[in-house]
Structure 1
Amino acid sequence: MDRQRLSVNGRPYRAAVPTVIEFLQFDIDPDVAARAEDARAAITRFDAELSALFDGEFAPLSAVLLRTESASSSQIENITVGAKALSLADVGLAKFGSNARLVQANVEAMNRALELIGPLTIDHILAIHEALMHGQDRAAPGHFRDQQVWIGGTDYSPHRADFVPPRHHRIEDSIRDLCAFSERTDLPLLAHAAIAHAQFETIHPFSDGNGRTGRALVHVMLRNGGATTRTTVPVSAGLLSDTTAYYDALTAYRDGDPNPIIDEFSRAAFAAVSNGQQLAGELKAFHDAWAVSLRARKDAVAWRVLPFLLRQPSVTSKLVQETMNVTQPAADNALRQLQEAGALSRPTTVHGEGQKRNVVWQATEVLDALDRFGERARRNPRSGTSSSSPAP
Structure 2
Amino acid sequence: MSRRSAPASTPPGRRVRCAGGYAAFVPDPLPPELEWTPTLVRALSDADRLIGRLAGEGGRLPNPHLLIRPFVRREAVLSSRIEGTRATLGELLAAEAGAAVDRSPADLREVANYVVALEYGVKRLKAHPLSLRLTRDLHAKLMTGVRGGHATPGVFRTTQNWIGPPGCTLANAIYVPPPPDVLADCLGGWEKFLRERSLPVLVQAALMHVQFEAIHPFIDGNGRVGRLLITLFLVEREVLPAPLLYLSAFFEATRADYYERLQGVHERSEWEGWLEYFLNGVARQSEDALSRAERINALLARWKDELAGASQAALKLVDLLAQNPYCTVRRVERQLKVAFTTAQRAMERLGAAGILKQVNQAKRDRVYCATALLKILEEPARLVPMEAA
- Normalization by structure 1: what TM-score? 0.85
Mapped to 2, the partners of 1:126 and 1:262 lie a distance apart of: 26
Q: CA deviation at 1:46?
A: 0.7
Mapped to 1, the partners of 2:82 and 2:298 lie a distance apart of: 30
Mapped to 2, the partners of 1:296 and 1:169 lie a distance apart of: 68
Q: 2:287 aligns with which of 262, 268, 274?
A: 274
Change in Cα spacing, 1:174 to 1:301, as seen in structure 2 (3 Å) is: same
Cα displacement string for residues 124-170 of structure 1 (whole angstroms, at most 9, x for unaligned residues) = 10111112112133132211122221111452511111101111232
Please, which moves more after superposition, 93-102 or 335-344?
93-102
The question of whether the paired residues in 2 share the 8 Å contact of 1:89 and 1:101 is answered with: no
Match of 1:15, SS state, is strand
Q: Which residue of 1 aligns with 2:225?
A: 213
Mapped to 2, the partners of 1:275 and 1:61 lie a distance apart of: 13
Q: 2:277 aligns with which of 264, 285, 289?
A: 264
Q: CA deviation at 1:274?
A: 2.3
Match of 2:365, SS state, is strand
Q: Which residue of 1 aligns with 2:141?
A: 131
Cα displacement string for residues 6-29 of structure 1 (whole angstroms, at most 9, x for unaligned residues) = xxxx971101112222xx442232
Q: Which amino acid aligns with 1:68?
A: R
Q: Which amino acid aligns with 1:348?
A: N
Q: Which amino acid aligns with 1:365?
A: A
Q: CA deviation at 1:297?
A: 4.4
Mapped to 1, the partners of 2:54 and 2:243 lie a distance apart of: 9
Q: Which residue of 2 aligns with 1:53?
A: 61
- Aligned Cα root-mean-square deviation (Å): 2.4
The alignment status of 1:108 with 2:87, answered yes or no, reads no
Q: How does 1:29-178 map to 2 (within 5 A)?
A: 29-31=36-38, 32-54=40-62, 57-95=63-101, 96-97=103-104, 98-117=106-125, 118-136=128-146, 137-155=149-167, 157-178=169-190
Change in Cα spacing, 1:314 to 1:304, as seen in structure 2 (3 Å) is: same
The question of whether the paired residues in 2 share the 8 Å contact of 1:37 and 1:188 is answered with: no
Q: CA deviation at 1:251?
A: 1.3
Mapped to 1, the partners of 2:190 and 2:178 lie a distance apart of: 14
Match of 1:84, SS state, is helix
Change in Cα spacing, 1:144 to 1:92, as seen in structure 2 (3 Å) is: farther
The alignment status of 1:366 with 2:373, answered yes or no, reads yes
Identity percentage of aligned residues: 27
Q: Which residue of 2 aligns with 1:5?
A: none
Q: CA deviation at 1:173?
A: 2.6
- Normalization by structure 2: what TM-score? 0.85
Match of 2:228, SS state, is helix
Q: CA deviation at 1:362?
A: 0.7
Mapped to 2, the partners of 1:80 and 1:36 lie a distance apart of: 33
Q: Which amino acid aligns with 1:172?
A: A
Q: 2:306 aligns with which of 289, 293, 296?
A: 293
Mapped to 1, the partners of 2:41 and 2:108 lie a distance apart of: 37
Cα displacement string for residues 256-297 of structure 1 (whole angstroms, at most 9, x for unaligned residues) = 232122111111111112222332233123212211211544
The question of whether the paired residues in 1 share the 8 Å contact of 2:231 and 2:243 is answered with: no
The question of whether the paired residues in 2 share the 8 Å contact of 1:347 and 1:362 is answered with: yes
Q: CA deviation at 1:303?
A: 1.3
Unaligned 5+ residue runs, structure 1? 1-9, 352-356, 382-392
Q: 1:337 aligns with which of 336, 344, 349?
A: 349
Please, which moves more after superposition, 79-88 or 328-337?
79-88
Mapped to 2, the partners of 1:347 and 1:150 lie a distance apart of: 44
The question of whether the paired residues in 2 share the 8 Å contact of 1:37 and 1:190 is answered with: no
Mapped to 2, the partners of 1:169 and 1:315 lie a distance apart of: 51
Mapped to 1, the partners of 2:77 and 2:111 lie a distance apart of: 6
Q: How does 1:178-217 map to 2 (within 5 A)?
A: 178-217=190-229
Change in Cα spacing, 1:285 to 1:105, as seen in structure 2 (3 Å) is: same
Change in Cα spacing, 1:215 to 1:92, as seen in structure 2 (3 Å) is: same
Mapped to 2, the partners of 1:35 and 1:347 lie a distance apart of: 43
Q: Which residue of 2 aligns with 1:283?
A: 296
The question of whether the paired residues in 1 share the 8 Å contact of 2:358 and 2:366 is answered with: no
Mapped to 2, the partners of 1:58 and 1:187 lie a distance apart of: 29
Q: How does 1:311-330 map to 2 (within 5 A)?
A: 311-330=323-342
Match of 1:17, SS state, is strand
Q: CA deviation at 1:192?
A: 0.4
Mapped to 2, the partners of 1:293 and 1:240 lie a distance apart of: 37
Match of 1:338, SS state, is helix
Q: CA deviation at 1:347?
A: 6.1
Mapped to 2, the partners of 1:173 and 1:90 lie a distance apart of: 41
Q: 1:17 aligns with which of 19, 23, 26?
A: 26
Change in Cα spacing, 1:316 to 1:211, as seen in structure 2 (3 Å) is: same
Aligned length: 360
Match of 1:187, SS state, is coil
